[in-house]
Structure formats: structure tokens, C-alpha cells
Amino acid sequence: MSAFQFIAQGDAISKFVAFLLLAMSVASWVVILWKAWVIKRAVPDVARSIGAFWQAGDLAQAKATVAGFDREGLVLPLIEASQARAAGTLASVGDKAQQLTRVLRDALHAVLLKLQFGQVLLATVGSTAPFVGLLGTVWGIYHALIGISGAGQISIDKIAGPVGEALIMTAAGLAVAIPAVLAYNLFGRYVARIEADLEGFARDLRELLAQHEVKG
């Protein structure tokens, strides 16, 4: 009996476990491929965008130049937020430096949330998939032993087949979890690097504009 026949002949719980592992695998691989594409573009784009900003002659030129480099929209929202003005609201009350700090902080949080999207799913799949597979194995072994005991005579040959098929669920859980864990750790390093660059840029941008407001 093959693994597919084992799952097809299993009860509702066995089929649910198999479907859950399949869904977790598909979801994690979609996130892995998407984040690999995003990070591949974001790492050089952030560096080029920040460099182009400081090489520009003024804010208008800097914004236009960064718009051409920042394909994932990670640097440009910080520049746009720093130029936003909310006249007639509580946000416009107080020191200009405090206003800049607030708007840049909010924009930075939004950008980082976008950058970190999918990391929670990868961490969840990596930590839970082995246990889901183990549940399928335990449940399959239980039903296999029940079926063998009802057959009368028990031999190692009759036990090895069903138990071996049930253990496939554990292997499936590990096969789902390992790519998710590796991707989570790898992406985490790149995300942390980009976050550090964006936080440094936001801090430098705040200092630049705060001094400009004082001089103005």
C-alpha cells in the first residue's frame, strides 16, 4: 500500500492532517518565493535610494530620484511623510522636531510591517508542521494496530507495513517545516539589515529637516 492509498483509506482525521500539511507547504512556498523576489530587489534598491537622496540638490530632486530607484516603496514613504503637513489638527501642534519624529516613526512602522510580512507564517509553519505530522503518525499507527489486532494472528510483517506508512506523516511534517525554518532565518538576516538602513535614514532625515526648520 502506497502513502497515497494510506491517506485515501484513512479516516477524517488522517485526511485532515494530510490536507493541513499540504496547505501549510503551499502557503510557505508562496511566501518564500514572494519574499525572495522582494528582498532581492529591496536590498540594492534601499542602498541606491539612500545614496541618491544624499546626492540630490534639494528635497524635490531627491524625491524624484528616489522614486526611480525605490521599486518596493520602502524609502519614498519616509520622504513623503516628512513633507506632509496636517494643519488644523493636534498633529500640527507642538515643536516641529516632535512632529517630524512622529510622522517619520509612523511611516517607518508601516514600511517595516510591509517588509516583515510573511515572517510570522514561516515561523508558525516551521514550528508546528513537525507536530502536525507527528499527530498523523500517531493516529495512523493507532488505527493500524487496531486493524492488525482485529485480524487475529499478528506478525512483524503485518505490523511493519502499516506502521511504516504511518511514519510517512512525520517525514511529511519535517519536509514542510525545514524549508520554512531555513527561509525564516535567511530572510530574517536580510530584513534586519534593511531595517537598520531604514532606521538610520529616518534618523538622519529627521535631523536634516529639523535643522532646516530651525534655520527657516
How many of the other CB atoms lie within 10 Å of CB of 167? 17
How confident is the model over 58-98, as pLDDT tens digits?
Answer: 888 888 999 889 999 999 999 888 876 655 455 555 567 77
Enumerate the domain spans of the chain. Answer: 3-215
Comparing CA positions, the residue from 110, 83, 115, 88 lying closest to residue 205 is 83
Q: What is the pTM of this model?
A: 0.81
How confident is the model over 147-198, as pLDDT tens digits?
Answer: 666 666 666 666 666 677 778 888 999 999 999 999 999 999 999 999 999 9
Work out the pLDDT band at 1, boundaries 50, 70, 90: very low
Residues 6+ apart with CB under 8 A from 8: none
Backbone Cα Rg of the chain? 27
The CA distances from residue 131 to 6, 41, 44, 110, 191, in Å, are 19, 35, 38, 34, 28
Dist CA 118 CA 121 (whole Å): 5
Residues 6+ apart with CB under 8 A from 102: 91
How confident is the model over 33-48, as pLDDT tens digits?
Answer: 999 999 999 999 999 9
